[in-house]
Structure 1
Amino acid sequence: MTLPVSLLAVIDEMDTFGDNFHPYINRQTGELVTLSSDDLCIVEEGFELADYPEWQQEILQKTVEVLDSDAYVPLPGKFAIHEYAIMQRFCFAVEDAGLSRELQDQIHGAGAFRRFKNTLTRHNMLDTWFACRQAAFTEIAIKWLEEHNIPYIRDVRD
């Protein structure tokens, strides 16, 4: 990937985050790279490249490159995105007061995300939620890219 970076590509990388995956961007080239926690641990603990299969050697070499370079910066992760807060804002923004309260009740405790989505599905609002979530991710990505002086294009999803 080259600069300017695709805003949609950045959002897609941010959306694949998790406890086991860590997305980075090269602010000089726009290259997006997602590293696994396992590969990060291998590199951070020290390793002999020859001890790993060829396919993994390439990944480990890329991991070393990313960690050793000031050009790569981590994209916003789950703490910066805070999807639970996005869900809360969505619940409060629902105009139907009864549905708003029902959604607010669903987002507490274990299984909150599943209950939230099930309630949205029952009320035929899942597409509305995903549009809201996408808008929130877009806002976070734009703010982050601008803070890091990384040029981007506002491309659109087909």
Structure 2
Amino acid sequence: MTIPLKQVIQAIEEANEVFTSFWDTKTGKTVYLADPLMTDMTEEDKALAAEMENTPERFLRFPTKCEIHQYRIMEDFIDRLPPGKAQEELAYAIRGKGAFRRFKQSVRYHGLEQRWYDYLAEAYRELAIRWCAEEGLEYTE
């Protein structure tokens, strides 16, 4: 089977705690299933959950927010910066509560926003390619 890489990347970018996204191999579409512990399940969610239970091989789960490890991606980005004030401040910014907010503020302050978003996009692309390989899928660019 073949999936557009862009579709996998989009699912990775949209990953959150409330919904789990899946690739429906029958329709080729991305479907979202609400976490019943986080939100009330709609009739549509219940129908999808039943379909997944009856034909689990039809649905491939995209990487979840936990599997994406955005914190590790931030650490890798910082490690690739040249030694200096920006690297030190970003390394400090990601410690403790509020790390993501402080990281984004520091990236902006040091004029590294575009570099960060380019790095993040490439990290997501690599994750998407790895997911396709693990699922035995070919992808189109």
TM value normalised by structure 2: 0.87
CA apart distance, 1:5: 1.6
Aligned-pair RMSD on alpha carbons? 2.2
- Cross-structure match for 1:48: none
Percent of aligned pairs sharing the same letter: 27
Taking structure 1 as reference, are residues 81 and 61 closer, same or farther at Cα in structure 2, changes over 3 Å only?
same
**Structure 1 regions of 5+ residues with no counterpart?**
44-55
CA distance in 2, matches of 1:94, 1:139: 20
4+ residue runs over 6 A deviation: 39-43
Call closer, same or farther: CA 1:34–1:7 in 2, change over 3 Å: same
- 1:19 deviates by 1.2
Change (3 A) 1:41 1:102: closer
Unaligned runs of 5+ in 2: none
For residue 35 of structure 2, the aligned residue among 37, 43, 68 is 37
> How do 1:1-158 residues align onto structure 2 when only pairs under 5 Å count?
4-27=2-25, 29-38=27-36, 56-69=42-55, 70-154=57-141
State the SS of the aligned residue for 1:38.
coil
Which amino acid in the other structure matches residue 87 of structure 1? M
Q: Distance in 2 between matches of 1:24 and 1:146?
A: 16
Deviations 1:89-113 (A, max 9, x none): 0011112522111100000101100
Q: Paired residues, what number?
A: 140
Distance 2:2 2:111 in 1: 37
Distance in structure 2 (CA, Å) of the matches to 1:104 and 1:40:
32
Cα contact 2:18–2:38 (8 A) shared by 1: no
Q: Which letter does structure 2 place at the counterpart of 1:111?
A: G
Q: Note the C-alpha offset of 1:10.
A: 1.1
Q: CA deviation at 1:67?
A: 3.5
Secondary structure of 2:60's aligned partner? strand
User: In 2, Cα distance between the equivalents of 1:95 and 1:23?
Assistant: 37
